[in-house]
Amino acid sequence: MLLDKLSQIKARFEEVSQKIIDPEIISDRKRYKDLNIEYTNLQKIVNKTAEYEELLSNIENAKEILSEESDPEMKEMAKMELSDLEPMVEPMEEELKILLIPKDPNDSKNVVLEISSGTGGDEAALFAGDLFKMYQRYCEKKGLRFEVTSTNEGAMGGYKEAIATISGEDAYGLLKYEAGVHRVQRVPKTESQGRIHTSAATVAIMPEAEEFEVEIEDKDIIKEITNASGPGGQSVNTTYSAVKLTHKPTGIRVSMQDEKSQHKNLEKAMKILRARIFKLEMEKRKAASDSLRRSMVGSGDRSEKIRTYNFPQSRVTDHRINLTLYNLDAILGGEVDQVIEPLRIAENAEKLKEGFSG
């Protein structure tokens, strides 16, 4: 019963409201942050519940007038009110059911975005550059902050690898569907005979991890400090500012040389290292979960081909939900919501089917 579930949510909201002002909990950074996220999510449900209860109450009052009132004018007004209010019940209940779907606790986190060119050589690097610009424009439209962290340019333009941090409300919740292999079909600039080539780039979307969420011990890191190098390996500055980190337990490696300051490069490298380790832990948990493996929008695994961008037909196809749109220029121009929204709706519908019995 929906009202029973909403009643439990209200009780939990009251409990969390008390906990977040408890000095003992405030001193525990992780617990305090988790409870604040829960408070924000519960507050949305509680506010919508108040609207829903008011709607039901108004319907009940109108029904009472119809059954008890003798004045024809009052009855007519009650009838009109009912005809306005009753169609609002079902959409509001669906909205509440979606709000009741447990949120991914990482949705509110900032994001580390990594795009790497795949098969296709120079053309793949150009495509990786197109994707990087697409997400930059998307973030501008959504009011998210897009900060370039590191780039490794391709020989003919674009990027062999590009990394950015994205911050703002629900950054990971918006972008998590973008992780995987993106494929492009087009005539490369280098192709003299007009043949269509297929190239690919990999997009990794990693929730940014706090220091207290991923503890990295000094003994587990091999740290190398070198001169920053440019194309062809020549030194681009005379100070030892480039940082290379290797995390021994996982074998994860991070290189950072974009900043002139060794301290800033180390700070950025540690942020990326934490995000990669956190992502690795998430993938392990996902692999152990049958329900997540069955999810229709996929796991966002790097090896999973998720989308094709076909230039001759101006077509974008998302293979996870068989969505095809003939609006390639707008999507590459930052209107990625045209694909993300259907993916979110599809995932919510799947979760409702699996987990809600109202």
- pLDDT of 229: 62
Q: How far is CA 56 from the centre of its chain?
A: 35
CA separation for the pair 315, 29 (Å, rounded): 46
- Whether 168 and 29 map to the same domain: the answer is no
Tell me, what CATH number does 41's domain have? 1.20.58
H-state helical runs in the chain: 2-19, 23-26, 29-68, 72-85, 89-100, 121-142, 171-175, 262-287, 290-294, 328-332, 337-355
Tell me, what CATH number does 166's domain have? 3.30.70.1660
- Whether 185 and 277 map to the same domain: the answer is yes
- pLDDT of 264: 87
pLDDT less than 70: residues of the chain: 190-192, 228-239, 286-304, 354-358
CA separation for the pair 354, 69 (Å, rounded): 45
- Whether 270 and 185 map to the same domain: the answer is yes
- Look up the pTM and report it: 0.72
Q: How far is CA 329 from CA 29, 126, 134, 196, 325, in A?
A: 44, 16, 10, 18, 11
Specify if 64 maps to a domain. yes
State which of 100, 122, 141 marks the end of a domain: 100
Residues 6+ apart with CB under 8 A from 305: 180, 181, 183, 200, 319
Q: Using one digit for the tens of pLDDT, what is the confidence trace for 300-323?
A: 444 568 999 999 999 999 999 999
- Whether 161 and 79 map to the same domain: the answer is no
- Whether 114 and 165 map to the same domain: the answer is yes
**Host domain of residue 29:** 2-100
Provide the number of structural domains found in the chain: 2
- Whether 130 and 82 map to the same domain: the answer is no
- Whether 278 and 222 map to the same domain: the answer is yes
Name the residue among 139, 234, 223, 128 with its Cα closest to residue 181: 128
Secondary structure class of 83 (helix, strand, coil): helix
H-state helical runs in 143-296: 171-175, 262-287, 290-294
- Whether 186 and 243 map to the same domain: the answer is yes
Q: Using one digit for the tens of pLDDT, what is the confidence trace for 130-186?
A: 999 999 999 999 999 999 998 999 988 999 999 999 999 889 999 999 999 999 999
- pLDDT of 190: 66
CA triple 221-257-110, angle to 5 deg: 75
State which of 69, 100, 131 marks the end of a domain: 100
- pLDDT of 115: 95
| Residue 53, both tokens | 């209860």
